[in-house]
Each structure stands twice: as structure tokens, then as C-alpha cells.
Amino acid sequence: MITNLSSQHSVLNEWVREIRDISVQNDRMRFRRNMERIGEISAYEISKLLPYREVTIQTPMGEAPCLELEAQPILATILRAGLPLHEGLLNFFDRADCAFIAAYRKHHRDGSFEIEQNYMTCPDISGRPLIIADPMLATGSSLVLAIETLLENGKPSQIHVVTAIACTVGIEYVKRRFPQVHVWAGDIDDELTAKGYIVPGLGDAGDLSYGNKRQS
Ligand SMILES: O=P(O)(O)OC[C@H]1O[C@H](OP(=O)(O)OP(=O)(O)O)[C@H](O)[C@@H]1O
Ligand SMILES: O=c1cc[nH]c(=O)[nH]1
Ligand SMILES: [Mg+2]
């Protein structure tokens, strides 16, 4: 399942426009906050698909029938660009447990790159919804490797991937490897450069959130 959150008219379109806009991107705090807001809206949409149980709670005036989540989700994030999106998801799923993965593109002299994954911390995800945040789904290599590693920690009840901008090629790659994954995208673009950047995309989400890095 793929949901393009921009296909409906909502205030989310404003935030997607701003994170893409070169004349707004120099405001790093706004960039991160817009990512966070996309995470918040995604959390709300995903929450409609999670299972709930009926409970009765005591108010000061009596008893009220309420719903509570059957299981708290696991929120997993790919560092570093995923952090603001993760924060947004955590604002809404405030009792979730979290997993972190460090991955980056290791560039070779010929211009090619491979994904280097060198850190992971994850709770037991058996029977719980797994929600993975990464703002850019380009080739899909980082995400596929991340999901493979996360699944070593148990079988989740559902898998959701939250991205700000996804590329059709990357979505197809993820769907081929993990057909059960539900991809939520702030917007979807069709083009990918030879260096693996999404066009029109927004540039480098990690650098826009946290500053340029030395090339590895
Ligand atoms: O789909 P892919 O082709 O794998 O590309 C997407 C990955 O690239 C970006 O991370 P990057 O490697 O730039 O690291 P960063 O978060 O430190 O900027 C992005 O946050 C994804 O993790
Ligand atoms: O377009 C892209 C592709 C990968 N990572 C980014 O930050 N942007
Ligand atoms: Mg980056």
C-alpha cells in the first residue's frame, strides 16, 4: 500500500512546499519543524489503522468507555536525516519504544556508493506495529537494509514507512523486497539522478537539518 499524503488538499501541502523551496530552506529550524509536522500528521493517519481494545476508565464523575492501543508501536529511525521526522511521530505516539539505525552512503572514486550501516539498537518488535522514519526514499537501499536488520528483532504486526519525499523507483524496490510494507509519503517524485538524488526532491535532507558534512 502506498499513500501520497499530498494527493489530498490539506495543510501538509504547505509544509511539503516549504521543505522543497530553496528560498525557505536556509531557515534550518523551519525545515526541521516542517519535517516534524509531517511526522505528526503521518502518525495520526497511521493511528487510524492500528488495533484498539475497549476499556472502561474512571473519571471524577463516573465510568467512561474508551479505546486504547492494543500494542504500542516501535518507532525506528535512520540517522541522521530521520531525526526530525522521528520526533514528530514520537510527539503523537508518546509511549512508543524506539529503535535507531546509523547508515550513510559510502562514496567510491568512480561516483558509485554503497550503504554503510554501523549501529543499531532495537527492542523486541514481535507482534507490535513497526513504523520507520526516513525523510528521503531514493534508491530504497538504505531502507531495505534497515528493514532487514530490524526484522532480526522479531516479526512486527504491521510495517509502516514514513517519508517526506519518495521516488517511484525506490518505492518499487522496497515493495518488491517487502510487499507487506505500507509507504506513507509527503509527496512522490519520478526522477532519480545518477548520484541517487531525487528530482525535484529537496536536496540533502540530512544537510538541510544539521549542516553539511565532509564526504566519506
Ligand atoms: O534510498 P537511498 O538511496 O538509500 O537514499 C536515502 C537515504 O539517503 C539519506 O541519508 P544519507 O545517506 O544522506 O545520510 P544522512 O541522513 O546522514 O544525511 C536519507 O536520509 C536516506 O537514509
Ligand atoms: O534526494 C536525496 C536522496 C538521498 N538523500 C537525500 O537527502 N536526498
Ligand atoms: Mg543525507
Task: Give the pLDDT score at 185.
Answer: 98
Q: Do residues 192 and 139 make contact, with C-beta atoms less than 8 angstroms apart? A: yes
Instruction: Report the atom number in ligand 2 closest to the C-alpha of 198.
Output: 1
> What is the H or E stretch that residue 66 is in?
strand 62-69
**Candidate from 105, 136, 137, 193 with most ligand 2 atoms within 8 A of CB, to mutate:** 136
Residue 215 has what pLDDT? 67
The number of residues in the chain equals 216
Low-confidence residues of the chain, pLDDT below 70?
A: 215-216
Q: Does ligand 2 have an atom closer than 6 angstroms to the CB of 206?
A: yes
Q: Which pLDDT belongs to residue 187? A: 98
Q: Residue 58 domain-assigned?
A: no
CA-140 nearest atom, ligand 1: 1
Residues 74 and 200: beta-carbon distance below 8 Å: no
Task: Establish if 24 belongs to a structural domain.
Answer: yes
d(CA 192, CA 179): 22
Structural domain total, the chain: 1
Asked if residue 12 belongs to a domain, the reply is yes
**Residue 203 domain-assigned (yes or no):** yes
pLDDT digits (tens, 9 = 90+) for 85-134: 999 999 999 999 999 999 887 888 887 878 889 899 999 999 999 999 99
Please choose from 136, 178, 213 the residue to mutate so as to test ligand 1's pocket, defined by most ligand atoms within 8 A of CB: 136
Task: Evaluate whether residue 68 is within a structural domain.
Answer: no
Q: Does pTM top 0.90 for this prediction?
A: yes
C-alpha 52 to ligand 1 mean position (Å): 34
CATH classification of the domain holding 191? 3.40.50.2020
Which pLDDT does position 131 carry in this prediction?
A: 98
Cα 128 to Cα 113: distance, rounded to the nearest angstrom: 33
| Residue 182, in any domain of the structure | yes
Question: Measuring CA to CA, which residue among 99, 159, 156 is closest to residue 126?
Answer: 156
Whether 19 is covered by a domain: the verdict is yes
* Residue 66 within a domain: no
How confident is the model at residue 63, as a pLDDT? 98
In a 3-state reduction of DSSP, which class is residue 198? strand
Residues spanned by the domain of 165: 2-47+74-210
What distance in Å separates the CA atoms of residue 188 and residue 205, rounded to the nearest whole number?
A: 15
Please give the ipTM for the structure prediction. Answer: 0.96
